[in-house]
Structure 1
Amino acid sequence: MTKNQIYSINGPVVTVKNAVDFHMLEMVYVGKQKLLGEVISISKEKTTIQVYEVTTGIVPGEPVYPTGEPISALLGPGLLTNIFDGIERPLKEIAKEEGIYIPTGSDVEPLDKTKKWDVKITVKKDDLLKFGQIYATIQETDMIEHRLMVPKGFDGRVIEVKKSGTYTLFDCIVKTEDTHGNVYELNLTQKWPIKTARPVFQRLPISKPLISGQRVIDTLFPIAKGGTAAVPGGFGTGKTMMQHQFAKWCDADIIIYVGCGERGNEMTQVLEEFGELIDPRTNKLLLDRTVLIANTSNMPVAAREASIYTGVTIAEYYRDMGYHVAVMADSTSRWAEALREISGRLEEMPAEEGFPAYLPSRIAQFYERAGYMETLNHAESSVTIIGAVSPQGGDFSEPVTQNTKRFVRSFWALDKQLAYARHYAAINWNTSYSEYVLDLTKWYDQNVGLSFLTNRKEIMAVLAEENKLLEIAKLIGADILPDDQKLIIEIGKVIRYGFLQQNAFHKDDTYVPLEKQNLMMAVILYLYDKAKHYIEEGKSLNLLLETSIFDQVIKMKYDVPNDQLDQFDQYYKSIDRTIKRIK
């Protein structure tokens, strides 16, 4: 009788009785089809395995094969431009070989092992190599140089070096020998356990913004390189669109997009659009510096959990080369739902709304892998994580949103009413926040100007005051308000339509540099200041509103090209002329 036989099957959860040769978090192959699984619980009586593939067709009595190693990602050249599923199977290759559906037990290699890469070896014989040190480089795409780093446990003195030239993934190019006489072969790849964070030399203080060109983010609710942000929003509020825009324009070097449990047709659209997007920095395909991980809602539920970890492991790999990486996770709610389903099948005690009691710690572990780091090869780089949250019915009080709020420092709350009013980005300025402003103060002062944060503070104050006045106006009507309060509502409208609302299809408004954002704020506040003095002199606000000056200021986002910022001077003169004319 074969040992390690399947005893019971409950969806993606499989148990083995009286097994002794399994370890926690070990990767195993389940059944005759060799489905990929992971050991998640061990007791004296039984071992529990979660299977990352559909278990239809397997029966009790089939064998389970241990591997002795954890679930790992294969890392090497060829990751960029590729599309993987949650357990790093290449979807394009599977489609070529097997058709549009992924067969169970598919063992297509994650990376093309026959492709030849032009390798430039940067070490020589007798060099001492340590974990994380770069020993060769490859031009992976036109934009990104892939830096091969010594894997963990391969430290030692170089005893053999091949010449720079063309090699396939598993060709040995360097040999090292450790102090015990063990010889190791270095090729173009390495493996890393996806649930273990890659080590760094030290975590550095956060001090630089991740600039997206989206005014409501860069100015009001910034995110730092190495920071974390949550994007909660109900159905149709623009979470995916916002992550697209952010991926296209943010100043990260590498983009990792994880589609976790999203609808298949939506994910298809994402993949097609990413394949066509042009990188504005280079005028080449954005895909040349992007890795896409697609785990749609009809794929095995357990693989959703793995997809998040696979994505962040690839991000850390490129971070260790010295790149700034942005991870878009869409959406972490589907990942949490996968945890809930598996927890239910394991008959664990449920916490709030049926989610497992360990939900907060899992969310924390994911977001903790972000950070601004000094790598083992002493480069400064970062992983920034932006996680979309899809609360049912747009209810932000549900557990995933509330627990995510505890572990992120930027919260961009998407608003259904703004989205339906075609206000992009539909970030509600009254319920969103960012805790990075203080960390970034020095950078803003040095790179944008001392006026930037002062202008931001005044804009935020006007919006807060406008919100209070709109509540009063709903009760008693806006006509009863005095002119100075009506002015705040009017300036609030200028800020909302002229500054916060952005047009992704307009060449000068889709991306706005920080300098222009600051100048726009300055013009709006100048109009507010001049209009306030005008009203204090006893003049009528209605006369000022009858001029076109407010509309003129709203349209400046279109009328001033991003490379002709000196045109803002005309607005100050126009405001002065208009007020002088009606006095």
Structure 2
Amino acid sequence: MKVGRIIKVSGPLVVAEGMEEANVYDVVKVSDKRLIGEIIEMRGDKASIQVYEETSGVGVGAPVYTMGEPLSVELGPGLLEAMFDGIQRPLEAYQKIAGDFLERGIEVPCLDRDKKWNFTATKKVGDYVKAGDIVGVVQETSVVEHKIMVPYGIEGTLKSINEGDFTVVEKIGEIETSKGIHELIMMQKWPVRRGRKYSQKLNPVEPLVTGQRVIDTFFPVTKGGTACVPGPFGSGKTVVQHQLAKWADAEIVVYVGCGERGNEMTDVLMEFPEIIDPKTGESLMKRTVLIANTSNMPVAAREASIYTGMTIAEYFRDMGYSVALMGDSTSRWAEALREMSGRLEEMPGEEGYPAYLGSRLADFYERAGKVVCLGSDERVGALTAIGAVSPPGGDLSEPVTQATLRIVKVFWGLDSQLAYKRHFPAINWLNSYSLYLEKIGVWMDEEIASDWSSLRTRSMALLQEEAKLDEIVRLVGKDSLSEADQLKLEVAKSLREDYLMQNAFHDVDTYSPLDKQYKMLKLILKFQDEAEKAMKAGVYLNKILDLEVREKIARAKYIATEEINKIDGISEELTTAMDTLISEGGVI
């Protein structure tokens, strides 16, 4: 082990000399306290190191030990239901040793070395296996089967395979390769800054169903897609992320709290175990991995946290699962980049961010996707990356937001004015967009209803027309509009308040399946069709707006999923009420 010596300490940045044998991104242990660090720059024999723990008390002349390997995560049974910090230190295990506050220099293995897992083999002796092949399974939680794969770079004949109870580091078999015998264990390691390999990248066409009407209907994201949620303070970014983590139809959820408030991660910790997953009937935590690097934790570890989360998500993707990764928020990660760049005395870019901000963001989001996994069974996995962005003062022209928008294909723009009006989710339908609409529209028309795309297009046109009519109303008043335009305003208002608004804390309204969304949207637009028909027959608009059935249309969102046929009943009642008005009103 090569030993260097510290010549400079600047907060989380330490410079050491005598490090000519080390490489960029190698892990080091700093001082006799053995603080974890990572080399981020080499100049001759001098290494600049970002330290992932508090550096107070570390001085010039203290030793630096190189580990000879890059920052890596341990992948294997024990990831689910766990909570790690930004460099995959298990916080629960830390608490047992050090109490409620992190202490420096404590070394705890990322995955439990003592817990035994029941391994069942799916391959037999004599089988030829290669990287990515599944050799066996472990029932990690009651809802997720953890698939044990052959590590990358290993190929050969299975010489032995054992079944039974093993820890993650005990031998479960042997593979005879061209280079000799390779011992097989349930755990593998992977460098966090390098994307895991796959066989082929596919074109994502299937939507990630979130149960949030404004997202699924107007601005959907695919399984394997990328999305960002920018918005000012208090506009509901974290609640949107929580809703997606709770209800999106991904099989695995990786939630990264990057530089956020501690109480928000506490909410996740308190809520997720109590939420019953609608697909499995079990606790949501049974398929969730939490990475917590809150705002009071070392800033350098914040920079590593999203890579740690992404690598864990890729690992489950390689098993053939659909994985959703939530990053809350990438702005805090970019701020950590900016701080470290400043300490390195690099040339600053726009607003002090490093010049490589855009390329780092691209490296992160490009690791998402729908892929054919390595292995002989050609399984398909998907990784959807959704990042929150917290622009200072809600200014969407700032560098992090703009760099993100150049990469991701879905933009859910949160609006402080909507949040002020208590309209949640506060996603502004006039400036948000999804570049997956065409692909998902075809899927929706085939799987849900043949007129889904046409209903969506018509609804969006109504909302856009409402914005234009609002300008006229502000100038000369609503009464100056024709009855046809007043009807459009009423239908657009119904779309906004009865469809787009959704209560995250209501037992029924928190989640809306696709078939319910379709029936609700069709019902609102049917009201417009029936009203136009009645107006042509001479019925006054005020009589149409006074119909009692309008209240039932407004409350359709609170109809339970198992009773959605009641929406059809409201539709029939609407037709009857309009027919009655026409027969009573006649042609004037």
TM-score normalised by structure 1 residue count: 0.96
Q: Distance in 1 between matches of 2:380 and 2:521?
A: 33
Q: Distance in 2 between matches of 1:472 and 1:348?
A: 52
Deviation of residue 207 (structure 1)? 1.2
Aligned residue for 2:563? 564
Q: Distance in 2 between matches of 1:65 and 1:3?
A: 5
Secondary structure, aligned partner of 1:275: coil
Q: Distance in 2 between matches of 1:13 and 1:297?
A: 18
1:567 maps to a residue whose letter is K
| Contact map agreement 1:248 1:280 (CA 8 A) in 2 | no
| Counterpart mapping for 1:201-212 below 5 A | 201-212=199-210
| Contact map agreement 2:20 2:46 (CA 8 A) in 1 | no
1:362 to 360, 363, 374: 360
| Closer/same/farther in 2, CA of residues 3 and 254 from structure 1, 3 Å limit | closer
Which one is further off, 106-115 or 150-159? 150-159
| Contact map agreement 2:547 2:577 (CA 8 A) in 1 | yes
Q: Distance in 1 between matches of 2:242 and 2:563?
A: 27
Q: Distance in 2 between matches of 1:60 and 1:19?
A: 15
| Counterpart mapping for 1:182-331 below 5 A | 182-331=180-329
Aligned residue for 1:154? 154
Gaps of 5+ in 1: none
Q: Distance in 1 between matches of 2:572 and 2:138?
A: 55
Deviation of residue 18 (structure 1)? 4.5
| Contact map agreement 1:275 1:286 (CA 8 A) in 2 | yes
| Counterpart mapping for 1:7-406 below 5 A | 7-44=7-44, 46-162=46-162, 164-180=163-179, 182-377=180-375, 378-406=378-406
| Contact map agreement 2:549 2:570 (CA 8 A) in 1 | no
2:284 maps to a residue whose letter is L
1:574 maps to a residue whose letter is E
2:339 maps to a residue whose letter is E
**CA deviation vs aligned residue, 1:423-479 (integer Å, no higher than 9, x gap):** 221111111111111122332122102111111111111001011111221222222
Which one is further off, 365-374 or 531-540? 531-540
| Contact map agreement 1:527 1:575 (CA 8 A) in 2 | yes
Deviation of residue 363 (structure 1)? 0.7
| Contact map agreement 1:424 1:503 (CA 8 A) in 2 | yes
2:340 maps to a residue whose letter is I
**CA deviation vs aligned residue, 1:231-282 (integer Å, no higher than 9, x gap):** 1111111111111111111110000000000012222222222232221222
Residue 517 in structure 1 maps to residue 517 in structure 2: yes
Deviation of residue 73 (structure 1)? 0.2
Secondary structure, aligned partner of 2:253: strand
| Contact map agreement 2:5 2:18 (CA 8 A) in 1 | no
**CA deviation vs aligned residue, 1:360-410 (integer Å, no higher than 9, x gap):** 111111110110111012111100011011111111111111111111111
Q: Distance in 1 between matches of 2:399 and 2:269?
A: 30
1:119 maps to a residue whose letter is F
Q: Distance in 1 between matches of 2:26 and 2:45?
A: 18
Which one is further off, 275-284 or 244-253? 275-284
Q: Distance in 1 between matches of 2:355 and 2:5?
A: 30
| Closer/same/farther in 2, CA of residues 278 and 569 from structure 1, 3 Å limit | closer
**CA deviation vs aligned residue, 1:159-183 (integer Å, no higher than 9, x gap):** 2322x11111111111122223x22
Aligned residue for 2:578? 579
Aligned residue for 1:551? 551
Q: CA RMSD in A?
A: 1.5
1:424 maps to a residue whose letter is F
Deviation of residue 45 (structure 1)? 5.4
Q: Distance in 2 between matches of 1:506 and 1:337?
A: 35
| Contact map agreement 1:213 1:250 (CA 8 A) in 2 | yes
Q: Distance in 2 between matches of 1:575 and 1:276?
A: 39
Q: Distance in 2 between matches of 1:270 and 1:3?
A: 42
Q: Distance in 2 between matches of 1:3 and 1:528?
A: 76
Deviation of residue 515 (structure 1)? 1.3
1:288 maps to a residue whose letter is K
| Contact map agreement 1:156 1:177 (CA 8 A) in 2 | yes
TM-score normalised by structure 2 residue count: 0.96
| Contact map agreement 2:441 2:452 (CA 8 A) in 1 | no
Q: Distance in 2 between matches of 1:576 and 1:121?
A: 61
Secondary structure, aligned partner of 2:405: helix
| Closer/same/farther in 2, CA of residues 499 and 134 from structure 1, 3 Å limit | same
Aligned residue for 2:427? 427
**CA deviation vs aligned residue, 1:38-75 (integer Å, no higher than 9, x gap):** 11111225221111111111111111111111100001
Gaps of 5+ in 2: none
Q: Distance in 2 between matches of 1:247 and 1:294?
A: 15
Deviation of residue 292 (structure 1)? 0.3
Which one is further off, 280-289 or 140-149? 280-289
Q: Distance in 1 between matches of 2:260 and 2:241?
A: 14
| Closer/same/farther in 2, CA of residues 549 and 160 from structure 1, 3 Å limit | closer
| Closer/same/farther in 2, CA of residues 359 and 294 from structure 1, 3 Å limit | same
2:421 maps to a residue whose letter is A
Deviation of residue 156 (structure 1)? 2.0
| Contact map agreement 2:3 2:66 (CA 8 A) in 1 | no
| Contact map agreement 1:28 1:38 (CA 8 A) in 2 | yes
Which one is further off, 507-516 or 229-238? 507-516
Equivalenced residues, count: 579
| Contact map agreement 2:324 2:385 (CA 8 A) in 1 | yes
Which one is further off, 506-515 or 356-365? 506-515
| Contact map agreement 1:494 1:550 (CA 8 A) in 2 | no
